[in-house]
A = this chain, B = another copy of it.
Amino acid sequence: MSQKIINTDDLAFLLYELLDIERFSQFPRYEDHSRDTFDAAIELALKVASETFAPHNHACDEDEPRFENGKVVMRPEVAEALKVLRETGLMAASQDYERGGMQLPAVVAQTCIGLIKGANVSTQAYAGLTIAASNLIMAHGTDEQKQRFAEPMMAGRFFGTMCLTEPHAGSSLGDIKSRAVPQDDGSYRISGNKIFISAGDHELSENIIHLVLAKLPDAPPGAKGISLFIVPKFLVNEDGSLGERNDVILAGLIHKMGYRGTTSTMLNFGEKGGAVGYLVGEPHNGLAGMFHMMNEARIGVGLGSVMLGYTGYLHALDYARDRTQGRSMTERDPATPMIPLIQHADVRRMLLAQKAFVEGGLSLCLFSATLVDEKKHAPTAEAREAAAGLLDLLTPIVKSWPSQFCLEANSLAIQVHGGYGYTREYPVEQFYRDNRLNPIHEGTHGIQGQDLLGRKVSMAGGQHYQALLQRIRATLEATRGRDELKTSAELLSNALATLEETTSALQVIKKTDPNRALANAYLYLECFGHVVVGWLWLRQAQAALKGLQEGGARQPAFYQGKLNTCEYFLRYELPKPLALAEVLRSADRTTLDMPLDCF
């Protein structure tokens, strides 16, 4: 393949053989769709990704946006690429027909945006944030807000942001200081300082719609006193035309390790008396609305991590096939020609690890995206609730697992390149720097671990957790008698038993000593994530075996590769986090008890 964004065989395998997304055309919402329309959208996205987004990825890293005379100046390719994307209509891929959308399943829409991410995550971010922000307004806004703000966003005329973090309060949203004062006309005047606002200012779109968390004068303290506001950069008149400049100013740009093409901004609201804002949803209930966007953003972060890892893997694979170096360990004659890197077992180990991480991560993200579709549009309420619960449970894993292990994949891609991989002349070094953001934003690993163990596993009486176990057991059951999958099934089965015991032990301790039970929540997140991805790998192996035995659409080597990689993941990767199960199960106090003056 000439593009190194995705293995299209793998994508088709995941979407159609693993996840069977053709079944969505039986959902009433998607009844006009078929595999043909899905594939057409995906092919269009891949074309735009490889022809329009990929070519300037490196340039925007070397020549990042600048703050000049109060404005953001950046390379022209960014605006050009976003214009092309806008014209495809893909920014509204999953939206209703009557709002100008394509009404495609979320899994297809995510696939399309994922391909753009893999080509150029920084330029993509302007579009990705806009899609997420418009989705939020569509879910929680008034009809007028939808029409005035969300529709121009879906059309790509306005771009969006999410303004949560303040200089003194990152993860601790309850402590934000931004204020919103109600006005007689029903609007609000917003003031406060926000930091790390991606795409917070630029000249790429007619307008920027900020979604801002702030507190009303009568707000109770903490997270229960947060409200959510639309604050446009330019006011929007009733007829949709732009009015005057709102009281939001760019205080400065932040310079990052990677992701450099996306502006990261400090924004000051209300320096001239208050920025005009419009309440979204109920007062003091802004976090619920923002979490709608944030949960979507968390899947987006996971998918972005995967796609950065994926493109790095394809670059490394290509390099390992082409570049010769050394000889086999048993070849004693130095006059023989050098062999390709890929013929060294240690290089194959690094490629297998990358393959396991990125294809496993992609299966996780796409599976989660199918849950979004099922949650919203499955025919029965029961199916919708089950999907919603499972998605809720998996969200911390979808956010954190790829951002840890696909970053690791990027590191391995550098390692395969040797010294060349460390230079800015090869793209793998940028992927690594770009991907290092993902373990941080939209909630660190520590936050995700607490969310999983402290809340998600036990929510609704633990029923979603139990339902997941049930699904995993069903897969194990279905592999019974399949010799080719026996080893993998055994490895997963043992890990599952360990996870269950660990969970039960921690749930008991949590009742009396939550600090202790949650002290190592991060390790729990790692174990849980590996079991989930291990399960999805076993499902991939199942589907591959079917393809192999029934003459599926792909080459036998493709299917065989899936079987081998499944076994690699379960044998070489799964044991590492599980090795700490005993530490977890005993709710070990080492990290909790370290006295502060002993560091």
Chain A positions near chain B (C-beta within 8 angstroms): 165, 168-172, 174-175, 195-196, 221-224, 254-257, 264, 317, 321, 324-330, 333-335, 338, 342-352, 355, 411, 414-415, 418-419, 421-425, 429, 432-433, 436-437, 439-441, 444-446, 449-450, 454, 514-515, 518-523, 557-558, 560-561, 564, 567-568, 571-572, 575-580, 583, 588, 590-599
Q: Are A522 and B346 in contact (CB under 8 A)?
A: yes
Q: Are A515 and B444 in contact (CB under 8 A)?
A: no
Q: Are A560 and B415 in contact (CB under 8 A)?
A: no
Q: Are A334 and B418 in contact (CB under 8 A)?
A: no
* CB-contact partner of A598 in B347, B520, B560, under 8 A: B560
Residues in B whose Cβ lies below 8 Å from that of A334 = 174-175, 221-224
User: Smallest CB-CB separation from A598: which chain B residue?
Assistant: B561
Q: Are A343 and B596 in contact (CB under 8 A)?
A: yes
Q: Are A254 and B423 in contact (CB under 8 A)?
A: yes
Alpha-carbon distance A561/B596, docked complex (angstroms): 9
5 extra A-B contacts, CB within 8 A, seeds A345-B592, A564-B595: A257-B429, A257-B433, A330-B514, A349-B520, A572-B590
Q: Are B256 and A345 in contact (CB under 8 A)?
A: no
Residues in B whose Cβ lies below 8 Å from that of A171 = 325-326, 418
User: Smallest CB-CB separation from A62: which chain B residue?
Assistant: B255
Alpha-carbon distance A454/B172, docked complex (angstroms): 51
Alpha-carbon distance A558/B518, docked complex (angstroms): 27
The 5 lowest CB-CB distance pairs between A and B, nearest first, are A222-B334, A561-B598, A579-B579, A346-B446, A345-B519
Alpha-carbon distance A131/B595, docked complex (angstroms): 41
Q: Are A588 and B576 in contact (CB under 8 A)?
A: no
* Contact flag A591-B437 (CB < 8 Å), given A172-B326, A222-B334, A572-B583: no
User: Smallest CB-CB separation from A325: which chain B residue?
Assistant: B172
Q: Are B419 and A440 in contact (CB under 8 A)?
A: yes
* Contact flag A348-B592 (CB < 8 Å), given A415-B439, A419-B441, A561-B598: yes
Alpha-carbon distance A599/B310, docked complex (angstroms): 12
Shortest beta-carbon distance from A328 to chain B in Å: 7
Alpha-carbon distance A419/B265, docked complex (angstroms): 12
Alpha-carbon distance A355/B345, docked complex (angstroms): 33
* Contact flag A338-B592 (CB < 8 Å), given A257-B429, A345-B515: no
Q: Are B594 and A450 in contact (CB under 8 A)?
A: no
Residues in B whose Cβ lies below 8 Å from that of A223 = 334
What are 12 A-B residue pairs whose CB atoms fall within 8 Å in the complex? A170-B418, A221-B333, A222-B335, A256-B422, A256-B423, A342-B596, A345-B592, A346-B591, A355-B599, A421-B440, A564-B595, A572-B591
Q: In the complex, which of the residues A224, A257, A333 has the most CB atoms of chain B within 10 Å of its own CB atom? A: A257
Q: Are B175 and A594 in contact (CB under 8 A)?
A: no
Residues in B whose Cβ lies below 8 Å from that of A567 = 590
Q: Are B579 and A518 in contact (CB under 8 A)?
A: no
Q: Are A329 and B518 in contact (CB under 8 A)?
A: yes
Q: Are A329 and B514 in contact (CB under 8 A)?
A: yes
Alpha-carbon distance A411/B440, docked complex (angstroms): 11
Residues in B whose Cβ lies below 8 Å from that of A593 = 564
Alpha-carbon distance A578/B576, docked complex (angstroms): 8
Residues in B whose Cβ lies below 8 Å from that of A595 = 557, 560-561, 564
Residues in B whose Cβ lies below 8 Å from that of A327 = 172
User: Smallest CB-CB separation from A569: which chain B residue?
Assistant: B590
User: Smallest CB-CB separation from A260: which chain B residue?
Assistant: B424
Shortest beta-carbon distance from A115 to chain B in Å: 20
Q: Are A351 and B599 in contact (CB under 8 A)?
A: yes
Q: Are A330 and B515 in contact (CB under 8 A)?
A: yes
User: Smallest CB-CB separation from A578: which chain B residue?
Assistant: B579
Shortest beta-carbon distance from A182 to chain B in Å: 22
Shortest beta-carbon distance from A406 to chain B in Å: 14
* Contact flag A329-B221 (CB < 8 Å), given A165-B419, A421-B440, A424-B255: no
* CB-contact partner of A591 in B345, B424, B441, B446, under 8 A: B345
Residues in B whose Cβ lies below 8 Å from that of A411 = 436
* CB-contact partner of A352 in B254, B419, B429, B591, under 8 A: B591
Q: In the complex, which of the residues A221, A326, A598 has the most CB atoms of chain B within 10 Å of its own CB atom? A: A598
Residues in B whose Cβ lies below 8 Å from that of A599 = 317, 342, 351, 355, 561
Alpha-carbon distance A595/B568, docked complex (angstroms): 13
Q: Are B329 and A454 in contact (CB under 8 A)?
A: yes
* CB-contact partner of A422 in B350, B419, B437, B561, under 8 A: B437
Residues in B whose Cβ lies below 8 Å from that of A560 = 595, 598
Q: Are A418 and B444 in contact (CB under 8 A)?
A: yes
Q: In the complex, which of the residues A221, A347, A433, A439 has the most CB atoms of chain B within 10 Å of its own CB atom? A: A433
* Contact flag A579-B571 (CB < 8 Å), given A172-B325, A424-B255, A432-B436: no
Q: Are A424 and B338 in contact (CB under 8 A)?
A: no
Shortest beta-carbon distance from A582 to chain B in Å: 8
* Contact flag A346-B432 (CB < 8 Å), given A255-B423, A415-B440, A572-B590: no
Shortest beta-carbon distance from A297 to chain B in Å: 14
User: Smallest CB-CB separation from A220: which chain B residue?
Assistant: B334
